[in-house]
Amino acid sequence: MKNIKYKIVVLSDLKDSASITLKSTVSLAKMIDGDIEFFHVKKPTDIVEIDNQLSAIRSINEKHLATEKKIKKIIEPISEAYGVNISHKFSFGNAKTEIEKYLKESQPDIIVLGKRKPKLIKLVGDSITHFVLKNFNGVVMIAADKNALEPNKELSLGVLNGMEQTFNVEFAEDLMSHTQKPLKSFHITKNSDTSNASVSNNNKNVVEFVFEQGDNAINNLSKYLSISNTNLLFVDRSNTNSNKTILDSDIQSVMDSLNVSLLLGSEKIKIKQ
């Protein structure tokens, strides 16, 4: 049992959806008793575009103040509305280099990323999301800008290809205590008896949706996530789980197709509640 608060880091590009991402983070933090820190990296090309040293220093100071102001404009209304303290940091430099350095110093338990619009991502290997998933073994939440998590409201949780009571996250019990019943369990299998989906409710606390693996599996999953009003889907990304193949093969397609937030479990621990 963890006796200190979980450290949740929000990596943000300060785009329009930053406030929605932060609200979903506040919702998670309230459920699991977590502290939130907001982190942003500004590219050097956004800061200095002049050769004169004094002018360059002045430009850096101006950009520093402008960035601080923009971050506070996002953070403060949410912090006040929900009574949650949100600290923040930002740095100048290459995004991946600065994020890697920051994460080594910060040692977060959970990283939260906003869901990027498909048209803004051309190469999966170049995206910050892909970089984080490749280099961070802890829990990652990818927050959707639609059907977002709402602070102080029960969660509508679904589990993909896993046992309904097995999560490789330390805060599983806290999460379940704030989850609507029944829990939704989604399975993509190679040997389904139906071309679309089958639904069973043998356990009053769990509704199971089973899909046949194939070209339409993700589309069917997206459809039934919507029908069941699920707003957070837990995916185990441990090396022994079948979801590893789903995530590694086409993570961007999964994120683009599902209109819910994703909670990607840690690769380092396996805890059964």
What's the number of domains the chain is made of?
2
Q: 96 and 193 share a domain?
A: no
Q: Quick one: pLDDT at residue 178?
A: 92
- Between CA 125 and CA 90, with CA 261 as vertex, the angle to 5 degrees is 60
Q: 140 and 161 share a domain?
A: no
Q: Quick one: pLDDT at residue 62?
A: 83
What is the phi/psi pair of residue 169, to 5°? Answer: -135, 145
- Which one of 149, 182, 208 terminates a domain? 149
Q: 122 and 217 share a domain?
A: no
Q: 7 and 81 share a domain?
A: yes
Q: How many CB atoms lie within 10 A of CB 238?
A: 16
Q: Which helix (H) or strand (E) holds 39?
A: strand 34-42
Q: 57 and 142 share a domain?
A: yes
Q: Per residue of the chain (273 residues), what is the pLDDT tens digit?
A: 455 789 999 999 998 899 999 999 999 999 999 999 999 998 876 555 556 667 767 777 888 899 999 999 999 999 999 999 999 999 988 999 999 999 999 999 999 999 876 554 444 445 888 889 888 989 999 999 888 899 999 999 998 876 544 566 788 889 889 999 888 888 887 765 554 555 555 566 788 888 877 777 788 888 889 888 999 999 887 654 555 545 554 556 667 778 899 998 876 433 332
Residue 244: which domain range?
Answer: 154-273
Q: Quick one: pLDDT at residue 39?
A: 97
Q: 95 and 198 share a domain?
A: no
For residue 38, give the CATH number of its domain: 3.40.50.620
- Which one of 149, 166, 200 terminates a domain? 149
- Between CA 70 and CA 78, with CA 74 as vertex, the angle to 5 degrees is 155
Instruction: Specify the pTM.
Output: 0.85
For residue 188, give the CATH number of its domain: 3.40.50
CB neighbour class for 46 (10 Å; exposed up to 12, middle 13-18, buried from 19): exposed
Q: Quick one: pLDDT at residue 100?
A: 95
Closest CA to 264 of 241, 156, 106, 125: 241
